[in-house]
Structure 1
Amino acid sequence: MGEHAIMSLACILLAAMACQWIAWRVKLPAIIFLLPVGIVAGPVMQWLQPDQLFGDLLFPFVSLAVAVILFEGSLTLKFQDIPGLAQVIRNLITFGVLITWMVVAIATRVLLGFSWEVSFLFGALMVVTGPTVIMPMLRTVRPKENVANILQWEGILIDPIGAILAVLVFEFIVAGGADDGFLAGSIVFGKILLIGVLFGIAGGFCFGFLLKKYWIPQYLHNIAALAFVCIIFAVSNLLEAESGLLSVTVMGIWLANMKSLKLEDILDFKETLSILLVSILFILLAARLNLSAFIDLGWPAVGIFIIIQLLARPLSVHLCALGSKLTVAERHLLSWIAPRGIIAAAISALFAIKLESIGYAQASQMVPLTFFVIIGTVLLQSVTARPIAKALKVAEPDPKGFLIIGVNIVTQTIAKELMNNGFRTLLTDQDWSSVTKAKLKGLYAYWGNPVSEHAERHLNLTGIGHLLAMSSHIELNALAAQYFRLEFGPKFIYSIRNHQPQNGKAEEKSSFKYGGRILFDETISYEDLEKRLIDGAEMKTTLLTEEFSYDDYLERQGEARLMLFAIDPNENIYVFTPTPDFLPKANWKIMGMS
């Protein structure tokens, strides 16, 4: 029996990794692959039976896993980000949440006959989208930048907000069921709310204080964060049942908004852990599904899905976009994209177990209904969003922008000239001072490791199709080139030399297998470009004409010339390499340094 359990756990981890890898390769949400694996392994083939495998530990494991996922999501919710967001984003995470909640709750009550309590809980679950499903979809759809930004920030912010709403609704249901009478239930609900908020603030304050005082060594930060989340969750639930989820969410929000507290390492660890837990939970929860439950839901479930897709989301978006600069086409695309993800699945399964135990028989139907909506929204929107974006003319054309590794005098100069010619650029660096200076110059820059899990979820690559590895660190350039080679393709990955080329074994030892194509000229290094700029060289864009040909340009520039980019009349951009596969002609533009 022990060997069977070990084998089952090992297979779950292997399947989870495989699904995540396939999703990464095809640029689709991992849910699309995790759910079928769980359904096949569980109700279809009967290979995986989570209730027997975990026994009484299933409910605690799901609870702790959801707590960690909610904590990780709440760490991204910073109050300072909200005032700076566009009006439509603020409306979506406030009024939009209420609109979706009410519409879905009423539809569930009318079409499926659920009790008002369960209907409002299901409605709260359906307001959550989340970055785990939004970001892969954006890379496939490639909408225009303003639409992509709205969807990205909505997904990040609405994750913890929707989770808090669902937790509060559930806790009010539990409070009301604890004793007859609305007053007694409201008192219990107040206790849950009070304990959840107080313990969340206390946990966040204490852990943040320990970090600020450097009383926890760096290598224990991640373990300490996980331990704090678990203990706050456990103690809150011990004092008042079901207050733990609210506590860890508040704790994450408190930490995210503490001043002078660096959480990047903890956030990266939590994101890695969350990916693991998300994958395991989807497989386990899908394996517990009863296929006949889908059939029993019948056409009313299809009606719920249609209302969510064609009424709740469009109504929310169009009302929230009133007075904004969004075009009608952009509003239509925003109305179409809102896939549901792991938070809805995990919390529905978690709450259903508890609600059934206190007499809500309909709660068991909430799980297959939630999975039905998740599968429906992810599949439908993944397949149709790109054609719809093209038809509405709000899809980006072929990605022509540049992801530039490294923020320095060279990359900032190049990025500025590219932007002046209408090409999107995104600089990345781990040096906060350099990133801040770039932003003050009006450049878009990401602070962090470009190959981290955090970058995977938050780096907006919409409209970007080239990689320029131009950091002063040769190892980072090589790592970035290898990491993004499937994202952009080897043809569009370029690396700058960090030193003058030399013959012999020294040169061979410093070259990398997937380092990308050599940028600009074979004899040019990063140090050469930096020295040119320091000595007063400038980036200029020159238009070629019938009277002023490419040969004339080369002759005028002389030996000091350095061509970097070429732009054809169709606004396609080409990068100069030691062996360029293009020949600039009349009406082309040459971006060079002289």
Structure 2
Amino acid sequence: MNEHALIALAGIGLLGVACQWLAWRAKLPAILFLLIAGILAGPVTGWLNPDRLFGDLLFPLVSLAVAVILFEGSLTLKLDEIRGLERVVRNLVSFGMLISGTISAAAAHWLFGFDWPLAALFGAMMTVTGPTVIVPMLRTVRPNAAVAKALRWEGIVIDPLGALLAVLVFEFIISSQAGDALGHAALVFALILGTGIALGVATGHLLGLLLRNYLIPEYLHNVVTLGLVFAVFAGANAVASESGLLAVTVMGMWLTNMKRVPVEAILDFKESLSMFFISGLFIILAARLHPGEMALMGWGALGVLAVMQLIARPLKVALATVGSTLSWRERVLLGWIGPRGIIAAAISALFALRLQEHGYAEAKLLVPLTFLVIIGTVVLQSLTARPLARLLGVAEPEPRGVLIVGANPVARAIGRALFKQGFPVILADSSWEHVSAARMDGLSTYHGNPVSEHADRRLDLVGIGHLFGLSPQRDLNVLAARYYRREFGDRGVFTLTASLEDDQRESKHGVAAEFHGRPLFGKGVSYRKLAERLRQGAEIRATTLSEQFDYAAWCAANAERAIALFAIDPRGKLRIFTADAEIKPGVGAVLLALVSPEAKPPAA
């Protein structure tokens, strides 16, 4: 038994990683592959039985994992980012939530046949969207900043509020059997709201003070934060049942909006932990589905899905965005995207079990109906949201552009060459002289430190997918590489290497190689070498490779006097020459290289 449990736990982890990788390759939300994996592992093959594997610990473990997911999501909710959209988000998570919940409940009653109490509970659970599906979908759809911020804020804030609404409906159903249901529900609401906000604010402020005043060593930041998240969640639930989700959400929002509190490392750790938890939770909860219950789903369930997608969500957004600055195109896309995620799956499983214990036999259909809505909304919106965003003209362009650290002569020469080939470039430099020269060349610039708080708020990275550290200040390049790695990924961050003469000094006085970006243009191609060649008259030239003059022929003709910089394949993709990977451009590719002038023959 112990060996089977160990294999099952390891298998869940491997399945989750495999599904995330497949989602990355297919450019689809990972939830699709996670649900398929869970259904195959559970109902289809019978290999995974979560109830037998975890026993009474199943729902406590699910609850703790959901708490970490919500806390991580709330750490991204900076108030500065939502300026101008405050009213839209407030409307979406208040009366907008009630509108969608009421319509969903009516559809569950009239089309699926639920009694009104169960229909009301289903409608409350369907008010949540959730960061577990919104954030991955935003990476794929890439809507403009206004739509993306509204969806992210709505998804994170509405999760605890939707769970709170579901708790109130559940308490109303249970207490109605004994009378005084309305008074009991009002008392529960006040207790949950007060407990969640009070504990969340107090703990978030305490942790912020400890971090700000360096009272916790850096290597304990993540451990202490995780322990406090668990403690606040459990403590809030002990005081007022189901208030833990609200408490951890408020805690994260309070912490991230405090001044001078370093939360970046905590956010990185929690993001990785959340992805692991999300993967495991979807597989585990999908594995709990029973084939017999799924067989009971009929056309009525599809009707519920259609009403939620085509009526409830668009009507909610239409009313919530009246008088806002959002264009009608942005409102249409916002009204189409509203997938359900892990919170709906978790609370449906929990309340279905409790209602069955109180004699509600139909409650067993809550879980399969919820999963049908989750799968339906995710599949439909994943396949259609990106084309719709493009059709409406509210999608961000493909991230083909380059943020260049530095506006010096080397950076300007490379920026001009890329811009001439149709790639957006932004040159960031603190030197006004360099920035002015770049602007004279017609290049987009940012005057200031690219890793400053001002740049974090004002530097527009729409369409930007790479970072080039081209500053003569190598420490600034390394700092920028570390700062923007989370934005562009490890494969999108590049810095110049040290010159061959500086290698020995670099090993003793320089920053460790693991903190650099990928080495640009080859080993020993330093800023000094590029600048010297430009001063000697070298130019960046574009050469289109052909069958008669391929890459090998180009190398033979330019062996000593050229440095290959970039290759643009026939599809327009930018490929960067680096010291850690070999590139062999094919026929039709455009090769950009820094070519020195030919040496003149000696005078007679």
What band does the TM-score fall into relative to the shorter chain?
0.7 to 0.9
1:35-61 Cα offsets, whole Å, 9 max, x none, are 111111111111111111111111211
What is the deviation of 1:189?
3.4
* 1:113 to 1:197, Cα distance in 2 relative to 1, 3 A: farther
Tell me the residue number matched to 1:402. Answer: 401
Contact 1:72 1:271 in 2 (8 A): yes
1:300-343 Cα offsets, whole Å, 9 max, x none, are 21111111221122223344444556555444343333332223
2:139 matched to 1:111? Answer: no
CA distance in 2, matches of 1:428, 1:97: 42
* 1:154 to 1:41, Cα distance in 2 relative to 1, 3 A: same
Q: Which deviates further from its counterpart, 374-383 or 465-474?
A: 465-474
CA distance in 1, matches of 2:296, 2:10: 33
1:327-373 Cα offsets, whole Å, 9 max, x none, are 55444343333332223223332343344444554443222122111
2:44 matched to 1:48? Answer: no
Give the TM-score, by structure 1 length.
0.73
Contact 1:282 1:346 in 2 (8 A): no
Report 1:177-196 matches (<5 A): 177-178=174-175, 180-181=179-180, 182-196=182-196
CA distance in 2, matches of 1:584, 1:272: 37
CA distance in 2, matches of 1:27, 1:476: 30
Q: Which deviates further from its counterpart, 302-311 or 157-166?
A: 157-166
Tell me the residue number matched to 1:35. Answer: 35
Report 1:390-429 matches (<5 A): 390-392=390-392, 399=398, 401-404=400-403, 406=405, 424=424
* 1:238 to 1:391, Cα distance in 2 relative to 1, 3 A: closer
In structure 2, stretches of 5+ residues that fail to align are: 430-447, 507-511, 536-562, 579-583, 596-604
Secondary structure class of the residue paired with 1:435: coil
Tell me the residue number matched to 1:555. Answer: none
Corresponding letter in the other structure for 1:173? V
Contact 2:566 2:577 in 1 (8 A): no
Report 1:523-542 matches (<5 A): 525-527=526-528
Contact 1:497 1:526 in 2 (8 A): yes
1:107-131 Cα offsets, whole Å, 9 max, x none, are 2233234354543443343343344
2:492 matched to 1:497? Answer: no
Contact 1:233 1:248 in 2 (8 A): yes
What is the deviation of 1:216?
2.0
What is the deviation of 1:207?
2.5
CA distance in 1, matches of 2:359, 2:279: 30
2:167 matched to 1:171? Answer: yes
* 1:364 to 1:69, Cα distance in 2 relative to 1, 3 A: farther
Tell me the residue number matched to 1:223. Answer: 223
2:62 matched to 1:62? Answer: yes
Tell me the residue number matched to 2:445. Answer: none
Tell me the residue number matched to 1:153. Answer: 149
Q: Which deviates further from its counterpart, 204-213 or 161-170?
A: 204-213
Contact 1:73 1:160 in 2 (8 A): yes
Secondary structure class of the residue paired with 2:497: coil
Corresponding letter in the other structure for 1:306? A
Contact 2:93 2:157 in 1 (8 A): yes
Contact 1:39 1:287 in 2 (8 A): yes
Report 1:341-490 matches (<5 A): 341-392=341-392, 399=398, 401-404=400-403, 406=405, 424=424, 434-436=450-452, 439=455, 443-444=459-460, 463-464=463-464, 468=468, 470=470, 472=474
Contact 1:403 1:467 in 2 (8 A): yes
What is the deviation of 1:237?
2.3
Contact 2:410 2:531 in 1 (8 A): no
* 1:357 to 1:77, Cα distance in 2 relative to 1, 3 A: farther
Corresponding letter in the other structure for 2:403? I
CA distance in 1, matches of 2:110, 2:133: 29
1:164-217 Cα offsets, whole Å, 9 max, x none, are 222221332354335530223422432233223222223223333333333322
CA distance in 2, matches of 1:37, 1:158: 28
Corresponding letter in the other structure for 2:497? N
Corresponding letter in the other structure for 1:271? E
User: What is the aligned length?
Assistant: 537
Tell me the residue number matched to 1:251. Answer: 251
* 1:486 to 1:361, Cα distance in 2 relative to 1, 3 A: same
Secondary structure class of the residue paired with 1:404: strand
1:14-44 Cα offsets, whole Å, 9 max, x none, are 1111111221222221111111111111111
Tell me the residue number matched to 2:5. Answer: 5
CA distance in 1, matches of 2:453, 2:236: 44
CA distance in 2, matches of 1:410, 1:363: 69
Secondary structure class of the residue paired with 2:401: strand
Q: Which deviates further from its counterpart, 25-34 or 350-359?
A: 350-359
* 1:517 to 1:350, Cα distance in 2 relative to 1, 3 A: same
The structure whose Rg is larger is 2
Contact 2:450 2:480 in 1 (8 A): no
Tell me the residue number matched to 1:272. Answer: 272
1:368-395 Cα offsets, whole Å, 9 max, x none, are 1221111112212222334444555555
Secondary structure class of the residue paired with 2:281: helix
* 1:212 to 1:326, Cα distance in 2 relative to 1, 3 A: closer
Secondary structure class of the residue paired with 1:259: coil
Tell me the residue number matched to 2:212. Answer: 212
CA distance in 1, matches of 2:10, 2:573: 48
What is the deviation of 1:426?
7.2
Contact 2:567 2:585 in 1 (8 A): no
Contact 2:278 2:342 in 1 (8 A): yes
CA distance in 2, matches of 1:283, 1:574: 37
Tell me the residue number matched to 1:458. Answer: none
Contact 1:236 1:244 in 2 (8 A): yes
Corresponding letter in the other structure for 1:347? I
Q: Which deviates further from its counterpart, 348-357 or 412-421?
A: 412-421
Corresponding letter in the other structure for 1:234? A
What is the deviation of 1:266?
1.5
